[in-house]
Structure 1
Amino acid sequence: MGLLPRLRVLPEEAYKDSTDVSLSSVDIQEKVSPSPKADGTTVEALESESQEPGTLQSGIPYELRDEKGRKWWKYFDEFEYRANSEYKKSRNWYSFLYPNHTTQTKAERTLLYKLDLMIGLYFLMLCWCKSLDTNNYINAYFSGMQKDLNMTKNDYINTTAISNVGAIVLQLPFMFFLPRYPTHLILPIMDLGWSFFTFACYRANSLAELRAYRFMVSAFGSAYYPVSQYILGSWYAPDEISSRVCLFFCGQLLGGVTSGLLQARTYKDLNGVHGIAGWRWMFLIDGIAISIPCAIIGFFVIPGVPSKCYSLFLSDEEIRIARARNKRLQIKDAVDKTKLLSLFSWKIWKKVFFTPVFWVLLVFDTCSWNNMTAFSGSFLFWLKNDHNYSVVKINNLSVLPACLGFIFVFFCALGADVFRTKWVFMVFSQMMNCISCAILIKWDVSNGAKWFAFLITYFSVAASPCLWSFINDFLRLDPQLKAVTWIAIYSFSQSTYAWIPTLAWKTVEQPRFKTGYTVSLIFSAIYGLWTFVVLYFYKRNEKKNALGNGIILYNSDNGEAPPTFVDTQMEKRGEYYFVRETDTEKRDI
């Protein structure tokens, strides 16, 4: 463990007593002068205490906004209260990936470049490994595993359900681990376990043995969704994160593409070599050559979170900038362990279950799990039963929907960040999925119509980057609440995915799966409509936290005047208001 990255302590933090070293930087008051940047300016208030939603921050531009005559259609303006007009003007549309909102310096843009290389590409690799393993099971089924393990009737879907139970069971402890332990250790350790049992699948000689291995694979893989989203939400701004979650999700699509191609090549070149079947070789290659190296890389590239950073590659200045960004964006990424509530405390569960946000997001995520025709395997069943294709050709053709899925996911995720409106692309993607399901429910259509319906099935998952971005933004103010809520939502949603497919996608109904497409259409329709409910609560939440977002609200229609602190504690510079330089300490409103 001595070779692994250590907690980064900035020079100004060394002034704290040794008893305080464990505190995160967001709890440390600035002790020294701000360090100069390369362009000669200074980073102001980077080490000061984290700001509560009801406090003014020095160095932050505030928009004074009168809501008089507010139009009804502003309800659909997702960022109306999330960002002020200065924030929105601080980038060109074509630079949305690297807007450097806060400092307008090259250093912030360099920070984003590094984060994309460390977090974005690594999570793409990790998701690719996970998806490769999932799709290997599907492809292996059609490449000899079904016969070798005597899988009949609903054994295929039941094995999938059993493996999903493994993910649910081992996911719950992360409510405790996430806020307390370094993420650069949690995720790779779990990934090593996942890699070992992926490798073990090659030696399965019975269905029961395979199910045991698949259960353990999913159990160790339970960390990668919640931990990765927890990390992404700690580093990226609300109009940057959908694009980065898109990279993460593209790994899943890449797994769908490469699994079919690798399985086809493996089956062709290695089937029977050393007496090992082609489908067994795929698990060997996946576990040893792909998953284990990816897990080891994670120990060194996962940076932790800005206030508890373990990165080998970020400079002190870039860590300061990351903390300044989070300060302005009201993202609290960590808290001292001594301030965390016990999971047995009623207070934490009251925060979770007695707020409408939890239940709104629970329905949202549950719909997203159960509308996914893309991962049902129905396309391969159709190719096998309605076409006289060889095993190799079926594996090759299986990549087509996933290839188009790249386009669909990029369209929705990048569009959400460019136009700062996730809901539009979420609703559109579900409309397209409903069209696909409707065609396949009817079934008695032309062959071309079926091809069209199958090729657009990945619209069912195209909204996922936007969904996860929404959840991250809802939960950004409290790290422990974020961890508990994320895991609770994800575990419940995934638990429904463990039994609903066993009823909806019964293998004996292949290749038509009328029940499955009907269930997917219903969940997809609810998903699209529920987006407007989520938008309502999101807008309400951000209006309540408007001051922290740099917006000072009042409504002269109701006889309201600007708050008194605007005159007593602030000064106007151009279009915006700033805390007076003569008194830059935090003030509670």
Structure 2
Amino acid sequence: MVNIIPKLRHVKGYYGQVETSVTTLSDSSSSINDDKKSVNVDEDDGDDLSQDPSMFNDSITVTTETGKDVTLITNRSYELRNENGRNRFRKFFDEFEYRLNAKDKVSRFTNFSFFKFLYPSRITNTRAETTLMFKLDILVGLYFLMLCWSKSVDLNNYTSAYISGMKEDLGFKGNDYIYTSSITGVGAIIFQIPFMYILPRYPAHYVLPFMDLGWTWFTFACYRANSLAEFRGYRFICNSFGGAYYPVSQYILGSWYGPDELSSRVFLFFCGQLLGGVTSGLLQGKIYGSLNMVRGLAGWRWMFLIDAIAISLPTCILGFFLIPGTPEQCYSLFLTDEEIKIARARARRFAIVNPTSKLPKFFSWSNWKKLFFSPFFWILCVFDTVSWNNMTAFSGSYSLWLKSLDKYSVVKMNNLSSIPAALGFAYVAICALGSDFFRCKWAFIFFSNMMNAISCAILIKWDVSSSAKWFAFMTTYFSVAASPCLWSIINDFLRFDPQLKAMTWIAIYSFSQSTYSWIPTLTWKTTESPKFRTGYIASLIFTLIYAFWSFVVLFFYKRNEKNHSIDNGIILYNDDPENKKEIPFYVEKYLEQREDGFYYLKEVSKEN
């Protein structure tokens, strides 16, 4: 009988691992460390058959004269790069200068093909890797698209239901609309904090479907709400179950894809959010027109029923079977052993450290010190916070403006409310695919925010022509277009430590989301509808900060990548007499140059 229950795949090693180990050598200026430094770890719950990439036996760790450990691995190309004559101003904007070496930085312009565009970072160039990438796009990319779509349909359904009779049925008054949105968001913030511990330790194909089941049940419960207080209670618990699906999904995506592949896959995830914005209005319009007062239920109540049973529940079931885990702890029913090894080789080549069964103790002071005393944490906190609060697209202002015109039917309003989200597909595609194609995320973050700034400026003015106002509303989704670039940068920053990655993702996301729970209550007051002047001014300020903060992030990102340049296959030196930095001794001693001009680790029998 075929086993249909996902279990941990006991696959050892990675693709291309050699049987012989390299020698352990030392001299007066260097040493090779065989033993790992001791680390305080959680109790092991079984044999660590997946292995930590840093523990593979075909690598050596060289301690340089400065005391820094440098790890060299087999099957890895190293570029020897002279920094003499480097143009600092021009190179500042080269985001991937230290992220990929010349061999890995495959040009997408030479012999351009759609396949090369989608998969530029193939390591083995084998049919097995091609199959792996297609499978990942289906298992990971399309599943998260469906998951995000189901969540987005429900979140957008709140606005659709509000303008479709829920306001009158439940007695919304004054600022109750925005207060309800903020109160229910608090649940997500509180209940996602435990995922700092859960993320790297428990299989996502158990965790996410369980959380999704809770979301489904309380979405279903919303149809029977008979008062505003009861509705708020259901939405609070519903959002509590859905609080972690953003960081969990990004955590998993960042474990499988390379730095110039990730934004395109986050785009798939984000397509689900946009698709939810489109289909929510269309579905609500269709349901209101055909099911309103059928069996005594208002049209907006039918939407919550259909949302739970026909949309959320199927994604919950699919998640259990489709979510593959990570390359080091894989539970997939659909990947072969060879494909898992290839995925590990890719992660190793991209310097992505994924969780294993041995992790630092969660409550260790060193973990929290690395979190809160790292400048990266605060830089990324600001980055994510401004991205949350510049989002005019999700303010509901467009739908409320349509309602204020008092010339469209409920069905027509719901259909029109889908247009900005539909256009959002193009905006997000331009930024996500463009940032991967040109390997330049910061430029598309800046571009999208400038477009959103124009939209906000028009709506602040308000007394403009009808065509100008329609243009402004139709471009509000530029406020979210840069999100795939943002999340890809965060993933790349945090790829070296799986425990710190989980803690930082949740901490950043919780802090940013918490600001989104109270700032809109001050800036997007329902009583200011439909002009929302305060809201657009606030969004303009956050948008401009977001745009120019991208240069701050770029500076620290490049500094971080330069510090890890050896992990990215780049060995730096400088033969300028004034800033002389000699070629490291280990290049000649442990590496050999091959016909392609790059250096590779010598394979030497290990000495006992």
- Length-normalised TM-score, structure 1: 0.93
| Structure 1 match to 2:339 | 318
| Structure 2 match to 1:538 | 557
| Structure 2 match to 1:393 | 412
Q: Distance in 1 between matches of 2:273 and 2:47?
A: 39
1:559 is aligned with what amino acid? K
**Secondary structure of the residue that 2:592 maps to in structure 1?**
strand
**Secondary structure of the residue that 1:179 maps to in structure 2?**
coil
* 1:559 positional shift: 2.1
Which of 74, 77, 80 pairs up with 1:61?
Answer: 77
Q: Does 1:78 align with 2:95?
A: yes
* 1:335 positional shift: 2.9
Q: Distance in 2 between matches of 1:65 and 1:424?
A: 25
Which of 303, 306, 309 pairs up with 2:327?
Answer: 306
Q: Distance in 1 between matches of 2:61 and 2:585?
A: 24
Cα distance change, pair 489–218 in 1 and its aligned pair in 2 (3 A): same
**Secondary structure of the residue that 1:288 maps to in structure 2?**
helix
Q: Distance in 1 between matches of 2:356 and 2:606?
A: 21
CA deviation profile, 1:197-217 (whole Å, cap 9, x unmatched): 001000000000000000011
C-alpha contact 2:10 2:50 (8 A) present in aligned 1: no
C-alpha contact 1:153 1:508 (8 A) present in aligned 2: yes
Cα distance change, pair 204–50 in 1 and its aligned pair in 2 (3 A): farther
Q: Distance in 2 between matches of 1:165 and 1:147?
A: 25
* 1:578 positional shift: 3.1
C-alpha contact 1:26 1:50 (8 A) present in aligned 2: no
Which of 354, 362, 384 pairs up with 1:342?
Answer: 362
* 1:333 positional shift: 1.1
1:8-407 equivalence runs, <5 A: 8-10=9-11, 21-26=47-52, 54-71=70-87, 72-89=89-106, 93-94=112-113, 95-337=116-358, 339-343=359-363, 345-407=364-426
Q: Distance in 2 between matches of 1:305 and 1:584?
A: 32
* Unmatched runs of 5 consecutive residues or more in structure 1: 32-44
1:554-573 equivalence runs, <5 A: 554-557=573-576, 558-573=579-594
| Structure 2 match to 1:475 | 494
The percent of aligned pairs where both chains have the same amino acid is 62
C-alpha contact 2:11 2:49 (8 A) present in aligned 1: no
**Secondary structure of the residue that 1:296 maps to in structure 2?**
helix
* 1:570 positional shift: 1.1
Q: Distance in 2 between matches of 1:175 and 1:11?
A: 27
* 1:28 positional shift: 9.1
Q: Distance in 1 between matches of 2:606 and 2:530?
A: 67
| Structure 2 match to 1:513 | 532
| Structure 2 match to 1:4 | 5
1:555 is aligned with what amino acid? N
Q: Distance in 2 between matches of 1:585 and 1:518?
A: 66
**Secondary structure of the residue that 1:537 maps to in structure 2?**
helix
* 1:57 positional shift: 1.0
* Unmatched runs of 5 consecutive residues or more in structure 2: 20-43, 63-67
Cα distance change, pair 282–76 in 1 and its aligned pair in 2 (3 A): same
2:192 is aligned with what amino acid? Q
* 1:107 positional shift: 1.6
| Structure 1 match to 2:544 | 525
1:356 is aligned with what amino acid? P
Cα distance change, pair 333–53 in 1 and its aligned pair in 2 (3 A): farther
CA deviation profile, 1:45-84 (whole Å, cap 9, x unmatched): 6xx7999982111111111000001002100000000000
CA deviation profile, 1:534-564 (whole Å, cap 9, x unmatched): 0000000000000010000011121222111
Looking at secondary structure, tell me which structure has more helix per residue.
1
**Secondary structure of the residue that 2:95 maps to in structure 1?**
coil
Cα distance change, pair 235–585 in 1 and its aligned pair in 2 (3 A): farther
Q: Distance in 2 between matches of 1:19 and 1:515?
A: 54
* 1:4 positional shift: 2.6
C-alpha contact 2:121 2:258 (8 A) present in aligned 1: no
Q: Distance in 2 between matches of 1:223 and 1:336?
A: 22
Cα distance change, pair 100–470 in 1 and its aligned pair in 2 (3 A): closer
| Structure 2 match to 1:439 | 458
C-alpha contact 1:163 1:218 (8 A) present in aligned 2: yes
Q: Distance in 1 between matches of 2:591 and 2:432?
A: 38
Cα distance change, pair 512–67 in 1 and its aligned pair in 2 (3 A): same
Q: Distance in 2 between matches of 1:53 and 1:546?
A: 13
**Secondary structure of the residue that 2:515 maps to in structure 1?**
helix
| Structure 1 match to 2:24 | none
2:11 is aligned with what amino acid? L
Q: State which drifts further: 561-570 or 371-380.
A: 561-570
C-alpha contact 1:27 1:49 (8 A) present in aligned 2: no
C-alpha contact 1:371 1:520 (8 A) present in aligned 2: yes
Q: Pairwise CA RMSD of aligned residues?
A: 2.1
| Structure 1 match to 2:604 | 583
1:225 is aligned with what amino acid? Y
1:572 is aligned with what amino acid? Q
Q: State which drifts further: 572-581 or 431-440.
A: 572-581
* 1:88 positional shift: 1.1
C-alpha contact 2:281 2:417 (8 A) present in aligned 1: yes
C-alpha contact 1:429 1:459 (8 A) present in aligned 2: yes
